[in-house]
Amino acid sequence: MLKGQLVFAQLTAHLPREVFKQCVAQYVGRYPTLSFSHWDQFLCMFFAQLTSRASLREITTCLRSHSAKLHFAGFRGSIARSTLADANEGRDSRIYEDFALHLIDIARALYSRDSLGTQLAQTVYAIDASTIDLCLGLFSWAPAANARAGVKLHTMLDLHGNIPSVIRVTSTLVSDASFLDHLRLEAGNFYVMDRAYMHFARLMKFTHAAAFFVVRPKNKLLHRVTASQDVDAASGVLCDQCIVLTGQHTRRDYPGEIRRIEFRDVQRDRTLVFLTNNFELTALQIARLYKSRWQVELFFKWIKQHLRIKAFVGNSANAVKTQIWIAISTYVLVAIIKKRLNVQASLHTILQVLSLNLFEKTALEQLLASASSYEESESPTPQLPLL
């Protein structure tokens, strides 16, 4: 990057500013922008994500402590807690949603040629949802079962680089399976899901679109075996069958044949059953595809642990969605920079290094080049007991 620039400015240089302006222009609002622009708002919340600030007061206090450097970091407006709060409440969250989706497209293109380790030419998507709990007293707009408020983050993860390709934010009352209605299915590619997505009418749409699904069925699936393949029990595959559904509703929703595979997971001492409409891959390949689905759960875990979406700095639905989309933009931007600069360190390590050096003038490539050497290669020394 340019010599003498702040690390923060070098990071934001990877953001397509013109695209951001186009996103803002699509959702013109009444909230004034003369002294505090949409870009200033984004930079404030971006800073909060990178440094794990948990409140508006923390964000503004930390930024104002660097007041002499804010202009060089890209800020043009005055930083105030009330101004940032009003911006989060009043400016349309769809601005930041559209911008995050554009960054996702950039990241997916960068990672499209990465190997999945499955020897498949097709793209593999992992689908799952995660609930973010909220306080019902503060977030009354997000009611849920058992007197608990929350929002649900539905995600389809492209396993090339673990980049989210489709994200939808809803209340927790929306079912996981309904997310499938919002997908544009791609012929020939694989979609891996858990049993929450067992909805045969929706799964039939995959077959009609020539797309492949791998899903775990719920218990007591009524079916009839039409054919059975020989299996190698030593590989963990217990059976590989072609079946037709015989339940009153399931046979109507999915009248065609479907493949049923049983696999023994020795490590966890359990037997898993998979359903798929792909009859070409081996049973072991199907099992390995489902194992790759755990990447989407790691994505949710990473997002919740390292980005600020559990401590919200606003209470309205718009403010919460704004924070979620900027958190996702932060995750994706770090992934973009990791790829563009060929950084070997993990995303977690990159974030830790960046959080302490945002207002330094070190070249970004130089700062991150040695980041992997900071990672623990061995188990840390056990902590001594306090008592």
Kindly give, in sequence order, each residue whose CB lies less than 8 Å from that of residue 328, ignoring residues fewer than 6 positions away. 100, 104, 164, 167, 303
pLDDT of 223 > 90? The answer is: yes
Q: At what angle do helices 94-111 and 17-26 cross, to 10 degrees?
A: 140
Greatest CA span in the chain, whole angstroms? 74
pLDDT of 32 > 80? The answer is: no
Least confident segment among 27-36, 107-116, 315-324: 27-36
Q: How many CB atoms lie within 10 A of CB 108?
A: 18
**pLDDT by residue (tens digit) across 237-265?**
999 999 999 998 999 999 999 999 999 88
Q: What are phi and psi of 206, to 5 degrees?
A: -65, -45
**pLDDT by residue (tens digit) across 280-312?**
999 999 988 888 777 767 777 766 665 555 566
Please give the pLDDT value at position 384: 36
Please give the pLDDT value at position 251: 92
Collapsing DSSP to helix, strand or coil, 184 comes out as: coil
Q: How far apart are CA 337 and CA 101, in angstroms?
A: 16
Amino acid at position 351, single letter: L
Mean pLDDT of 7-29: 92
Alpha carbon separation from 63 to 39, 49, 60, 170, 287 (Å, rounded): 15, 13, 5, 32, 49
Please give the pLDDT value at position 304: 64
pLDDT of 135 > 90? The answer is: no
| Better-predicted residue by pLDDT, 162 or 324 | 324
Please give the pLDDT value at position 150: 73
Q: How confident is the model at residue 222 (pLDDT cuts 50, 70, 90)?
A: very high
Mean pLDDT of 274-279: 95
pLDDT of 44 > 80? The answer is: yes
Please give the pLDDT value at position 117: 55
215 bridge partner residues:
193, 275
**pLDDT by residue (tens digit) across 102-130?**
999 998 888 877 765 555 778 889 898 88
**pLDDT by residue (tens digit) across 140-198?**
556 665 556 677 888 898 887 778 888 888 888 888 999 999 999 999 999 999 999 99
